């Protein structure tokens, strides 16, 4: 058995050495045939330099250096494209997800599962608003998405080679990997763990990025916002007809000497707000259609380190890219 570990890195110099030490210790309990692929997503600190030093002393460590910051979802895709392992493990370098769980994931794979994802029992010491929004997001997605996405899971998971080969066929620009992991199907199960607190460095994920990721997830795996806009529009139209009949009957019976200026302004502003909201929802979907129609490469590779011929051919065969 050979294993590929894919790790997107962005300004992770503080934790990279410890991550490398812990992940290799976990892998060596299982097999000597493994590769650790660091995907440098345009880091501005010493992440690339440190990763290169590690790779110089261990040829099983490989580096994909992207030409700029493309975002974690696309960096992860780049690593999957070049991986060769019979088993591929996706894990972040911030050590909030313990590499020591890898043997447990492999054991589940040996039982016949193609995808084994790690489920958080708790999120560690994170801002309350972030924890609440994450909790809410997974529950909303469960209600509105046609694809069942496991709750309280991140990207940390194991995938068999057939599952990875299926996953990399999805080439959309706006990528929500947690949804794509589920969308491919195959036999899946989860393993519980307690997420650790980030010890070193600072997370580059803020509320705005989480909001954008949530939008990608909702628009990629649900038509609920469009359906909601249609439902609200229909409901208002029905209420307007009912109100019109009410006003006609009231006028015929009692007259209408004083025009309802305040109610008119409220009605206009309310309907205007609903129209703008509906247009905004439609615009989100149209913008994604526009971006997909350009058919741009997902990422651009600036440099590769320690990759052999098989890795290179594998990557070239699976995706169009520029070097």
Write the pLDDT tens digit of every residue in 92-101: 888 888 888 8
Neighbours of 236 (CB within 10 A): 15
- Enumerate residues 6+ apart whose C-beta is below 8 A from 310: 84
Phi, psi of 193, rounded to the nearest 5 degrees:
-155, 160
Rounded Cα distance between 77 and 117, Å, is 17
How far, CA to CA in Å, does 142 sit from each of 114, 210, 246, 289?
Answer: 22, 17, 41, 24
Rounded Cα distance between 251 and 205, Å, is 58
Tens of pLDDT along the chain (323 residues) come to 688 999 998 888 888 888 888 988 888 888 888 899 999 988 888 888 898 888 888 888 999 988 888 888 888 888 998 888 889 999 888 888 888 888 888 888 888 888 888 888 765 566 666 666 666 766 666 666 666 777 777 788 899 899 888 888 888 777 777 778 887 888 888 888 877 665 555 555 555 666 566 666 566 656 566 666 666 666 766 676 676 666 667 666 666 665 665 566 566 766 776 776 677 777 777 777 777 777 778 888 888 888 876 665 555 445 444 33
Contact 72, 206 (CB under 8 A): no
Write the pLDDT tens digit of every residue in 227-269: 666 666 667 666 766 766 666 676 666 666 656 655 665 667 6
Rounded Cα distance between 143 and 149, Å, is 10
- Enumerate residues 6+ apart whose C-beta is below 8 A from 103: 26, 29, 30
Say whether pTM exceeds 0.85: no
- pLDDT at residue 178 in the model: 76
Rounded Cα distance between 160 and 89, Å, is 9
- pLDDT at residue 322 in the model: 37
Rounded Cα distance between 78 and 298, Å, is 8
- pLDDT at residue 259 in the model: 61
Phi, psi of 156, rounded to the nearest 5 degrees:
-65, 115
How far, CA to CA in Å, does 108 sit from each of 34, 114, 216, 274?
Answer: 18, 9, 30, 49
Is residue 93 within a helix (H) or strand (E), and if so which, with residue range? none
Using DSSP, state whether 155 is helix, strand or coil.
Answer: strand
Q: Tokens 């949804």 — which residue? A: 179
Q: Tokens 């997974």 — which residue? A: 138
Rounded Cα distance between 304 and 251, Å, is 78
């Amino acid at each position: 058995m050979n294993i590929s570990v894919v790790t997107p890195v962005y300004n992770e110099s503080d934790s990279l050495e410890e991550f490398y030490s812990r992940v290799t210790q976990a892998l060596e309990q299982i097999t000597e045939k493994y590769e650790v692929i660091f995907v440098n997503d345009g880091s501005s600190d010493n992440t690339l330099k440190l990763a290169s030093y590690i790779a110089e002393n261990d040829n099983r460590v490989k580096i994909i250096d992207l030409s700029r910051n493309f975002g974690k979802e696309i960096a992860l895709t780049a690593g999957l494209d070049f991986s060769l392992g019979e088993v591929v493990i996706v894990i972040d370098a911030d050590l909030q997800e313990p590499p020591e769980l890898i043997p447990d994931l492999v054991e589940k794979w040996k039982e016949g599962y193609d995808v084994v994802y790690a489920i958080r029992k708790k999120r560690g010491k994170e801002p309350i608003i972030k924890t609440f929004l994450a909790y809410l997001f997974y529950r909303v997605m469960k209600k509105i998405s046609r694809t069942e996405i496991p709750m309280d899971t991140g990207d940390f998971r194991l995938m068999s080679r057939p599952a990875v080969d299926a996953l990399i066929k999805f080439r959309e620009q706006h990528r929500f990997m947690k949804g794509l992991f589920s969308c491919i199907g195959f036999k899946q199960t989860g393993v519980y763990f307690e997420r650790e607190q980030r010890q070193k460095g600072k997370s580059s994920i803020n509320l705005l990025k989480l909001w954008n990721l949530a939008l990608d997830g909702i628009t990629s795996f649900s038509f609920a916002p469009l359906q909601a806009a249609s439902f609200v529009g229909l409901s208002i139209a029905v209420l307007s007809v009912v109100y019109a009949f009410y006003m006609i009957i009231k006028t015929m019976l009692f007259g209408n000497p004083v025009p309802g200026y305040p109610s008119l302004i409220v009605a206009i502003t309310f309907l205007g707000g609903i129209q703008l909201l509906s247009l905004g929802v439609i615009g989100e979907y149209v913008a994604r259609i526009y971006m997909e129609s350009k058919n741009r490469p997902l990422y651009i590779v600036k440099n590769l380190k320690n990759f052999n011929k098989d890795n290179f051919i594998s990557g070239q065969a699976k995706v169009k890219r520029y070097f």
